[in-house]
Structure 1
Amino acid sequence: MTQSLNIALAQCNFLVGDIPGNTTLICQQAAEAAVAGADLIVFSELALTGYPPEDLLLRPSLQRRIDTALEQIAAASSEIAIAIGYPWMDNDVLYNCAAVWYRGEELGRYAKQYLPNYQVFDEKRYFTEGIDSCVIPFRGHQLGLTVCEDVWFDGPVDDAVNAGATLILNLNASPFHMGKLEERVELMQRHATRCKVPLLYVNQVGGQDELVFDGSSFAISAEAHCVLQMPSWQSALGYVQLQDQQLSAISASQLAREDDLASLYQALVLGVRDYVNKNRFPGVVLGLSGGIDSALTLAIAADALGPERVRAVMMPFTYTSDMSKSDASLQAEAMGVRYESISIEPMYREFMAGLSDNFAGLAVDTTEENLQSRCRGVLLMALSNKTGYMVLTTGNKSEMAVGYATLYGDMAGGYGALKDVYKTKVFALADYRNSISPIIPQRVIDRPPSAELAPDQKDEDSLPPYPVLDSILERYIEHDDSADSIIAAGYEREDVMRVIRLVDVTEYKRRQAPIGVRVTRRGFGRDRRYPVTNGWKAGV
């Protein structure tokens, strides 16, 4: 009978680039786990640097800082073994490594073999692939090290098992998108079924620019049972025990999972919270129009930061309805945020007077609508400059896809909470948030969406209904379906060609939009890199 091994899974929120701060957090977590009786603690991929460190990996002082951090890790390993991820330079070649430290010694080091270079990942820009497995004897057990993408292929797991591994440790920095948790668990269960070994999946948590990491670390037994499911969206320590190849949880096992809308909402909240807090903004300011996008954005902001750090501004104009003014005020009061109303009428009139000679004899068009939006952008940016509060934009993915947003107007700001959320999901999320507490007035959800930039204006005057629009957009953006295949699926040719053309010709706008939380498989940002200037024609 082999001796039992108590293992802690450390789900931490690291700050990219803060190697000293991350190292201190790691040492604190290791000490806490040791007191709780753990023999080994496992952290996430590139825990020392945070993930993704991007071009910080090219800084000449990187290795010196890693060396200093590892000295602290070695000192912290006197009572507990520490499995940790970090970049490592060997003969001028950089590797994405995982290693186990115990009693001041490195027991073994592994270099990640599969470097993802798709969607948001570009690890081949920085790292070289490893070629060897690493199995470390520890207290009668054989620990096989793998890093993130390695387990999406059979080879690294098979190699570790063939080398004698009796437990697979997988150190991850796996960003969230809807449906991701189920994919991970099924993947690891498949490995357990194939190889008859238990596996630990340790993921980081927290927001990093457009990415958000859900944590959701878990443990799979050799019989392919999920014996430990750690919580999503929060830092935590989970504990399992391995004895005679039997893996069992020795801490509270949270096997119940959030439904999709709850998970999506928490992703948006965490993304906003960490972007604001990690960049040390005192709070956020946003335009509250009485429409559903700004209403949901306000709810996310207040839940992320607390109402005392959120400022909402109604900026009415001639076409702003009394209903919009009333609903904005009601929601701000219900949520306890600072609220004020500043009319854009005077500044709009001054702009128009100043432009009167240039506009003489020209028909009214979208120029005047855009000017309204730009007046609002100027107001919000002025408040941001004066108070230090970051402007939180309110546009959704449907609008950004087809260019229904104004440069230097409603696109002005530092971060977009709904940037990767389609309009139909905005409605669903508003209903979900109201199911927790009714803070969004129901008629904001029920009324037809309108930018209120012209009399009796409605979004569907110039766009297909949002369920149709979003379905076309998802096929074209998420799945790269062709115009012909979308039309063949039953959509009107006129709608498809118009929507695709709008997506293609407004890439220049999206390049100038603020970053925002990524929650789909393909957001506008690192995922999707189309040239602004190009001669590609859809449907050809």
Structure 2
Amino acid sequence: MPIKTKDYLAKVRNKTGFTDYKIAKEYDINQSNLSKYKSGKLALSETHAWLFAGILGVNPAEVVANTKLEQAKISNNETKVKFWQEQLENLKHDSESLKIEIAQINPIVGDLSNNAEKIIDFSCKAFESGVHLLVFPELTLCGYPPEDLLLREGFITQVETEIERIRKQLPEAMSIIFGAPTRIDECLYNSAILIQHGKVRSYHKQHLPNYGVFDEKRYFTSGQMPLVFECQRQRIGIVICEDAWDETPVNNAVNQGAQTIISINASPFQVGKHNQRLQAIRQRVLENQINFIYVNAVGGQDELVFDGGSFVMNNKGEVTHQLPFFQATTQALDAPIMASSTESIEKTIYDALVLATKDYVQKNGVFNGALIGLSGGIDSALTLAIAADALGSENVQAIMMPYEYTSAMSVEDAKAQASSMNVDYREVNIFPMISSFNMQLAPLFTGLQADTTEENLQARIRGTLLMAISNKSGKILLTTGNKSEMAVGYATLYGDMSGGFAPLKDIAKTMVYRLAKYRNSINYVIPGRVIDRAPSAELAPNQVDQDSLPEYDELDAILELFIEKKYSAERIVQRGHDENTVKRVVKMVLNSEYKRRQSAPGPKISQNAFGKERRYPMTSKFQP
């Protein structure tokens, strides 16, 4: 249907927020002509047609043709009416095929203004390059997961303000989809916002995940209705993340004529997750014979890391576009891209840890780098490599704190790694401090044998020193403990557990070794002796970890079954593990819950990570 002058004038009012008087003054339009435009007595002049097209961000030829047709009708010139109707029809048929672009971006939770600015900037750049539809991930405007920010007074009001700002600044010929929370009649929804032709429409997520790291039912109400829209004569349906894992939301969109489904997602990484996504989406595609565009977020957010890896699948279930993982990027779908989705598990996990560490430090904006207690052991060596790769070696400091049980090899290897990575390296001798503590405690410990108390004292003195240096330098202290140690409590509260972020928190000890070897395959930075020798806390003479723990191959196998697969002790024994060892490990895990509650956050990479995903009581008599 042709658009009339008064319609274009209403659009300009809406876009600019100006009154007719302000429009006349701002754009040098005769007030009398503007009144005739408003009443429909006069069609836009060609000059004003071009002017309005520029304001609205639409094709000037279309505005000219519409207003010329309007003028021909006003003057009853049938020849010109027919001519301009033909021109409009030609413009319609000559319009470009649909050009879609994916914006796989890294928003910051709660940073509404800057996230909105990103959406606007990317949209304007995409429009200039001829893109018709730009798609952002789930809850891009507020970041995912916003958690209890959604319950804060004024938060949703600010979200609504930013949505309106985006609408006003978006070229009218441009369509975009982005995620944001919306409020309707006191109900909150996890929504996909569609801005098209200057208007806002929204689709509300229907399937709200409420397991693992997800608790969307705490905040959101489920949507009920599909949303299908047209762009460049193509019918497109929208779903959000979990919706695509169920057949109903996609089927409903297809039944309303959708030829392509777009799913916006904030799907966090864990090992094997991308293959699960491909499998789920392929099922929807083959059920409905439709094309599917899957847009995922990227970036670290507290204990979660989003891996990106957005993709496009055709109606045969074939991936035609694969965006890279762990990288923010934009990609127009008229150009081919096929990033590798078959990288080694070690590379994938390492990239996840680097991104998680980088974003935790940089997004918080209160630290100028990272600090690590470098012991000469495998865990601190890998943590140092991750920190340097994430933040730059110039922003990382390593502190070695030897004592009488620290081997010369440990000091040499720590110094060698710091040197190879160009990291600032310092040594602090803790012997005088430990002697002073022991002297003060001696009267209280009279008649008692030395035990782990004295060992833990060494760790706590080191922790105190590291926190002091962290305070003074403004660098975050990275905790170096791994999942195996945290599982069985082989760590010291207020000692080696001190710190603000734990990159290895969800990494089993056996995987620590694999990641160290992977990092050395890029360039040799971790001394070979660190990888090859038996692990030791070096808190007692000739100490090795296996004095207190089973061999790590056995320990990690039991822990995977007990923690990640949630097997009972009996079932683990049936899998071929020694009964006494299993009972001992299970007991250590259950008795250490109070320690884990006080541990630093770290990125989830497994199917059951310590932290917000695994919520066990500290006080419990349950025996699995």
Is 2:400 aligned against 1:314? yes
Is 2:219 aligned against 1:126? yes
Distance of 1:254 and 1:395 partners within structure 2: 33
Amino acid at match of 2:152: R
Specify the SS of the correspondent of 1:117: coil
Is 2:146 aligned against 1:53? yes
Instruction: Return the offset for 1:35.
Output: 2.2
**1:88-127 superposed matches below 5 A:** 88-106=182-200, 108-127=201-220
Distance of 1:206 and 1:467 partners within structure 2: 32
Is 2:492 aligned against 1:406? yes
Specify the SS of the correspondent of 2:333: strand
Structure 2 counterpart of 1:263, from 338, 348, 352: 348
Aligned residue in 2 for 1:338: 424
Unaligned runs of 5+ in 2: 1-92
Distance of 1:3 and 1:191 partners within structure 2: 29
Deviations 1:83-135 (A, max 9, x none): 011000100000001121023212x3111011101110000000011111111
Q: Say whether the 8 Å CA contact 1:77–1:103 is kept in structure 2.
A: no
Amino acid at match of 1:274: D
**1:16-415 superposed matches below 5 A:** 16-78=109-171, 79-106=173-200, 108-241=201-334, 250-255=335-340, 257-280=342-365, 281-415=367-501
Which has a greater percent of strand?
1
Instruction: Return the offset for 1:214.
Output: 0.6
- Comparing 15-24 and 231-240, the one that deviates more: 231-240
Aligned residue in 2 for 1:502: 588
Q: Say whether the 8 Å CA contact 2:98–2:231 is kept in structure 1.
A: no
Amino acid at match of 1:424: T
Distance of 1:342 and 1:255 partners within structure 2: 45
Amino acid at match of 1:41: L
Distance of 1:166 and 1:156 partners within structure 2: 14
Deviations 1:379-400 (A, max 9, x none): 0000011111110000000000
Which has a greater percent of helix?
2
Q: Say whether the 8 Å CA contact 1:297–1:417 is kept in structure 2.
A: yes
Q: Structure 2 vs 1, CA of residues 255 and 140 (structure 1 numbering), >3 Å: closer, same or farther?
A: farther
Distance of 2:189 and 2:599 partners within structure 1: 33
Structure 2-normalised TM-score? 0.84
Amino acid at match of 2:521: S
Distance of 2:255 and 2:393 partners within structure 1: 55
Amino acid at match of 1:164: G
Q: Say whether the 8 Å CA contact 2:160–2:182 is kept in structure 1.
A: no
Deviations 1:226-280 (A, max 9, x none): 0110011111011214xxxxxxxx1433245422111100000000000000112
Amino acid at match of 1:99: I
Specify the SS of the correspondent of 2:267: coil
Distance of 1:472 and 1:80 partners within structure 2: 55
Q: Structure 2 vs 1, CA of residues 255 and 303 (structure 1 numbering), >3 Å: closer, same or farther?
A: closer
- Comparing 459-468 and 300-309, the one that deviates more: 459-468
Distance of 2:575 and 2:126 partners within structure 1: 54
Q: Say whether the 8 Å CA contact 2:150–2:156 is kept in structure 1.
A: no
Instruction: Return the offset for 1:154.
Output: 0.8
Q: Say whether the 8 Å CA contact 2:312–2:319 is kept in structure 1.
A: yes
Specify the SS of the correspondent of 1:358: coil
Q: Structure 2 vs 1, CA of residues 185 and 533 (structure 1 numbering), >3 Å: closer, same or farther?
A: same
Instruction: Return the offset for 1:72.
Output: 2.0
Instruction: Return the offset for 1:309.
Output: 0.4
Distance of 2:486 and 2:257 partners within structure 1: 51
Is 2:592 aligned against 1:519? no
Aligned residue in 2 for 1:451: 537
Q: Structure 2 vs 1, CA of residues 154 and 27 (structure 1 numbering), >3 Å: closer, same or farther?
A: same
Aligned residue in 2 for 1:436: 522
Q: What is the count of residue pairs matched by the alignment?
A: 529
Distance of 2:320 and 2:344 partners within structure 1: 20
Distance of 2:164 and 2:193 partners within structure 1: 13
Amino acid at match of 1:523: A
Distance of 1:512 and 1:367 partners within structure 2: 19
Q: Say whether the 8 Å CA contact 1:196–1:222 is kept in structure 2.
A: yes
Q: Say whether the 8 Å CA contact 1:10–1:42 is kept in structure 2.
A: yes
Distance of 1:101 and 1:258 partners within structure 2: 37
- Comparing 271-280 and 73-82, the one that deviates more: 73-82
Instruction: Return the offset for 1:63.
Output: 2.4
Distance of 1:194 and 1:166 partners within structure 2: 13
Distance of 1:255 and 1:489 partners within structure 2: 35
Specify the SS of the correspondent of 1:207: strand
Q: Say whether the 8 Å CA contact 1:75–1:103 is kept in structure 2.
A: no
- Comparing 523-532 and 27-36, the one that deviates more: 27-36
Distance of 1:451 and 1:257 partners within structure 2: 36
Deviations 1:5-55 (A, max 9, x none): 110011000000010010001111112222222100001111110000000
Aligned residue in 2 for 1:246: none
Deviations 1:472-528 (A, max 9, x none): 000000010000110000000011000000000100000000001111111100110
Is 2:506 aligned against 1:420? yes
Distance of 1:254 and 1:465 partners within structure 2: 38
Amino acid at match of 2:547: D
Amino acid at match of 1:329: K
Q: Which has the larger radius of gyration?
A: 2
Distance of 1:76 and 1:226 partners within structure 2: 34
- Comparing 500-509 and 343-352, the one that deviates more: 343-352
Distance of 1:206 and 1:422 partners within structure 2: 22
Distance of 2:164 and 2:563 partners within structure 1: 46
Question: Identity over the aligned pairs, expressed in percent?
Answer: 49
Aligned residue in 1 for 2:557: 471
Aligned residue in 2 for 1:247: none
Distance of 1:173 and 1:359 partners within structure 2: 54
Amino acid at match of 2:108: L
